[in-house]
Structures are given as C-alpha cells and as structure tokens.
Structure 1
Amino acid sequence: MNVKPPATLPNIVDLLLDAVFLVDTGGRIVYVSAACEGIFGYTPDEMIGMEMINLVVPEDRARTIEESGQVSAGRPRIGFENRYIRKDGSQVHLMWSARWSEADQLRIGVARNITERKRAEDMQTATYAISEAAHGANDFVDMFREIHRIITRLVPTAGFAVALRDGSAAEFSQPYETDVSGDPNVRRLFIDVIRTRRTVVHETERQADGRMESWIGLPLVLPAGVSGALILKSHPGTRYADKDRELLQFVSTQVAIAVERRRLNDELRRAARYDELTGLPNRRLFQDRMKSALARTRRHGGRIALLYVDIDDFKQINDSLGHTAGDQLLGEVAHRLQQCVREEDTVARLGGDEFVVLLEEISTPDDAQLVSTKITATINQPVHLDGSLLCVHPSIGIAVYPDDGETAEQLLKHADMRMYEMKKARSPGA
C-alpha cells in the first residue's frame, strides 16, 4: 500500500532544531529547513542555489568533498564533523547525518550545531596539547610551530605570528610567523596589545579584491606584565566572532604560561651546562662534547687535541685588584680564546682560571701547537681593567688523541701535567 506523506510534513520539518538539507548532484542546495537561518545566518531563500562546499571553511573542504563522495556512492554517513562560514563571517561547527536518495538523485543531510560542545572540548584539548608542546619541543620555534597547528585546528587562520616583547612596547622579536611577513598589521597590533593589555581586533579591506580581512592580537599575560602577543589573520571574507575571541583568549593564557615555563626550563638547562660568568660550556657540557668527539674520532679515524689553559698569577691579580676585576679578566680571556678557534671547536671553563680547548679533526700534533701559539699571543695582549693596563700570560698544556691517551680522563691528565710543567719552567728560580 502506497502512503503519501501528509501535506503538513514541510511544516513539521521546519519545527526541527537541526537543519535539513537537500543537495543535488552538482553540489547545489535545493532545499533547506527553517533551522538553517539560526545556524548559518542565511534565510532558506538565500541558501537555495548556493554551492554547499563554498560555505565550508577552506581547511575542511578536502575531507568534506571526500565525505560527500561517500554519501553519493550510496554509503550512509553518521557523525561527520566539519566547520562552516556563517553569513557574518564567523564559523560554526556541525555534525552531520546524511544519505543518498537514488530516486530523487539528491543528498539528504541533517546538520546539528555542536559549536558549544566543541568549544568546551577544544579548551580542554588545547590546554593539554599546549602544555605538551612546551615540554616536548626542542626549542621555541618548534614549540610555536606546534602551537600554530593547535590553534589552526580551533580557529582557521590565513596567517599567524608570535611577537615577544623586547624592551619597550615598540621593540619585539618575532620568533615564529607564517604568511604575515612584513605586514604592517603585525607591528600595529603588537603595539596596541602591549599598550592596552587587551585583545585587539582590526578589520582591513584587501586591495586585491575588496574583501575584508580580520586581524586579532591577543596578549600573552603573566604576573609581571604582558610578555608578547599572538597575532592571527583570518581568511578573506571571514571574521573572528565573539566566541572565537573567547576561545582564543583562553588559548593565549595557556600559551603565555607555556612560554614562561619554556623560558624557565631553558634557563635551568643553560645554568646546568654553561658557566654563568663567561657563558662558556662548563665541565659537564665539556665532558659530554669530549665523549662525543672521541666516539666520532674512533669511528672515522684521525686526531683530536686538548689544550689545558691556565692564567699565570691569577690569584695575585684577584687579591690586588679585587674579585670584580678578576671576573672581568676571566670574561676577556674567555672571549679571546673563542676568537682563536674554529666554530666547531669547544672552549670551556672548568673552574677558577682554568680553561680547556677541544680541537676536533686536526691533521697533526703541529696543528694543536699552532693554535696554542695563537692563544698565547692573543692573551698576552694588554687588558684594560678599571683604568689600568694589565698584561697576563697563559700556561698551556697539550694532549693529542690517540698519541697521549684514548680516554677523556687520560687526555685531561696529560694536558694538565704539561700545563704545570710549563708553569713551573716559567716561574722564578726554576
């Protein structure tokens, strides 16, 4: 028995809170229920004839086309999620159930607005993901690259930058940016964010096509003040709605915490591996590099050299001129040592006035002797300390792998011993 649907069925469909769509084989909308206006901002009459894919945010279009193909092939789909651009340029997150009507040659879809639910989920997910990025990234650039990826999943962006405060409000570093290089909006937003300590939105008209672009700057706020800003650019023709701003403000708070945590972690790592006074690698980092250099040399052959450098009569300089002058002298010696070696070599401070220089891939022991001569001549140059002209002299001991030993301990022992032999030979009465 054939039963015709009642004539009141369209009116019943219009009572649904979810939106009902009919889409033809060309992807154009042929019918929408009344609920679409509350979800999309367009009236049903405005949506008839639109290509459905043009309403989808650019980042979601490829997988939406793939999903539509599955439905058109006769495979009903339930629970597919994607994002759409509303009439006012803001975005809405939908969950779909859809099937194909062979008789009508139409896709029939029911869309539910899940924006609020997704926003709550996104906040929780973003908090965890940003914390993981802060802990797992190799450096700031890696961390910001991951944060960019996280934010793009929440709010589609056509451009993204991180600007960190450096001195006054007009000065900033930009450790990470994508598709906003050289755009004056970045500086303008950064200055406004630092000045107001608030989220700032600018809307500009594109010269190319007259479409509007929305820019948003979000402060990275810490107890000590605003440390920088996240800056996002929307896709042409879209804008950041109030709810997007609320979500991004929450995310910017998590990013500020992550930036500060990363800075503290980097400072702790540096303090553990670098000498505070000279900025040179300390004993721990030197031992790591020595171990790595020995391993490489054992695999590939060749020689490395170790120079043990000590400043003659440093205690007397410290006692007569004071510890401040002594610290200045050590800083100058460290600087001069770095000038005497290649970038791939290592200069480290072991403590006091004792330095070591690790020379990798030398051809003969004479190469180490040439560097030692250069160091001596460089350090012998007078040093200006508190208006005084001071002349200092280094004692240097050299050990070469594998001639003088095959372990770091053996090489250090030989270089230290030869350094003291030199010092003793140069001392009065020797």
Structure 2
Amino acid sequence: MVNNVDKFDKIKALDTEKGNKIKSTISAPIFIERQLYGFVNVDSIYNYAFDQTDLEVMEYMRNQIEIAISKHKLYEEIVYLSRFDKLTNVYNRRYFEELFDTCVNKTNELEKKILLVVFDLNELKVINDTYGHLAGDELIKTFASALGKCVRSSDILARIGGDEFVGIFFDVDSQTLVKRFDKLIKKFENNPITFEENNIICSFSYDIANFPQDGNDVNKLIKIADKCMYEYKYMIKNMHKLS
C-alpha cells in the first residue's frame, strides 16, 4: 500500500484516461503454486486514499482470486487428463471412442468416407530392455510427434496402448495414406533418434480398415486392422529368419 506515490522516485504510476495523476495505490501479488501469476491493483487520484481496512479487503480479494484460479487450473488439468495421453499429447482411447461415435454420425449425414488406421511400434520391448524405459518413452513421443504432422486437422489421432496408436482419416483413399506412411517409415530410417549417444531407429507397422465395409463399430475396426497388421509383422519376421 502506497498512499503518497509522489514521494517515491522509483514508482512510475500511469495517468488515468482523463490525464489525472495516480496518488495512492494498493498492489496485491497473485501466487499460484508458488509462482507469481500476476497482480491486482487498485489506484486512486487522491493522497492517503487507503487505510488498514482497505488493505484487509485487498488481502481477502487476493486469497479468493488465488483460490478461483487454482480451481480453474485443476479443472483444466482434469479435463485434459480425461481426453489426452499425457506422454504424447494425443487423444487417449476413451475420448477417441467418443469422438469416433460423434464423427460417424456426422459422416453418415454427409456421406463421407472413413478409414481407420492402427499403428504399432516395432521392437519397443527390445529397446526398453536394451536402453531403458526412458529411451522407449522418447521413441513413443518422437513417433507421435512425427505422425501428428501426417494428420490433417480434420483427422483424429489417439494412443490406445503402450506402443499402439489409431487414426481416423476422412475423405482420403488408402493408396494416399500408404504413400504418406511409407514416406514416414523411410524418414525414420534415415534419421535415427539419438538417446544418450545411442542411435535408435524408430520403426512401425500399420494397417487400414474401412468404415463401414469392415465394420461400423470402432473396436471391431481396430481388431480387424490389428489382426492384419500382426499377420504382416509375423510374415516379415519369418522372412528375416529365412534370409
């Protein structure tokens, strides 16, 4: 509380809109989780405009504002955690299923085409066992970030398991998606991830299911794409063993 601003050379108070000088001020800092969030200021064009009662009122206001902001931030965090995967910042499975149902209803009205793609990181367990789970987490985050750049704003991407992701793609044919994801595979091959001086290649498999030809339920579509993908991975492993 400063009741005579003119006496303090270091205080530069702004004039009011009418050009009047600020003569008294009360300033209350707002702290959220021990971090300075901002200030609440009350000014007057008169000297000695505030007393101890005003200071107590300002303290009460400051406390109430801190409580309100803290509750709002907690609410935002709860909403975020209910919708997003914390590690990758893409949607989680529960919210993905909600979005799928909403999108299907709209798409049926507009008669748009939907493709569902399941992605799975290759050899994540080997990487975790060799370099540690932090390396595995880095691989997952790098993959999610790169895959997110292949997804249009109208599409939907989610993490549905430890190393498994799913995407919904609208009004696009499977050949276009295959070209897009094969290009990403080659990009990862040419740009290994560096983790604690170790170079790790991010490798993934994927497969595509059509809505509604392959099914009209999200879990059924994921199961179909999953089955095709793992059959492909099994075939590739056998080829490597034979060679």
Task: Tell me which interval the TM-score lies in, with the shorter structure as reference length.
Answer: 0.7 to 0.9
Q: Does 1:351 align with 2:157?
A: no
Alignment of 1:277-316 (within 5 A): 277-316=87-126
Q: Which residue of 1 aligns with 2:202?
A: 392
Alignment of 1:139-178 (within 5 A): none
Residues 295 and 371 of structure 1: CA distance in aligned 2, closer, same or farther (over 3 Å):
farther
Q: Which residue of 1 aligns with 2:181?
A: 372
Question: Deviation of residue 406 (structure 1)?
Answer: 1.8
Question: Deviation of residue 423 (structure 1)?
Answer: 1.0
Which residues of structure 2 form unaligned runs of 5+?
1-9
Q: Which residue of 2 aligns with 1:382?
A: 192
Distance in 1, Cα, partners of 2:199 & 2:130:
14
Q: Does 1:335 align with 2:145?
A: yes
Q: May I ask how many residue pairs the two structures share in their alignment?
A: 228
Q: CA RMSD in A?
A: 3.0
Q: Which has the higher helix share?
A: 2
TM-score w.r.t. the length of structure 2 is 0.79
Bigger Rg, which one = 1
Residues 352 and 221 of structure 1: CA distance in aligned 2, closer, same or farther (over 3 Å):
closer
SS of 1:212 mapped into structure 2:
coil
Q: Which residue of 2 aligns with 1:412?
A: 222
Deviations 1:136-191 (A, max 9, x none): xxxxxxxxxxxxxxxxxxxxxxxxxxxxxxxxxxxxxxxxxxxxxxxxxxxxxxxx
Question: % of aligned pairs identical?
Answer: 28
Distance in 1, Cα, partners of 2:75 & 2:85:
16
SS of 2:91 mapped into structure 1:
coil
Deviations 1:261-319 (A, max 9, x none): 22223223323332232222211122122222212111211112211111122211221
Q: Which residue of 2 aligns with 1:269?
A: 79
Distance in 1, Cα, partners of 2:35 & 2:132:
40
Deviations 1:336-375 (A, max 9, x none): 111221233222211221111222x324333333333333
Query: Is contact 1:336-1:379 (8 Å) kept?
Result: no
Which is bigger in relative contact order (C-alpha 8 A, separation at least 6)?
2
SS of 1:427 mapped into structure 2:
helix
Q: Which residue of 1 aligns with 2:4?
A: none
Question: Deviation of residue 205 (structure 1)?
Answer: 4.0
Question: Deviation of residue 377 (structure 1)?
Answer: 2.9
Residues 383 and 205 of structure 1: CA distance in aligned 2, closer, same or farther (over 3 Å):
closer
Q: Which residue of 2 aligns with 1:186?
A: none
Which residue identity does 1:428 align to in structure 2? N
Distance in 2, Cα, partners of 1:301 & 1:294:
10
Q: Does 1:256 align with 2:66?
A: yes
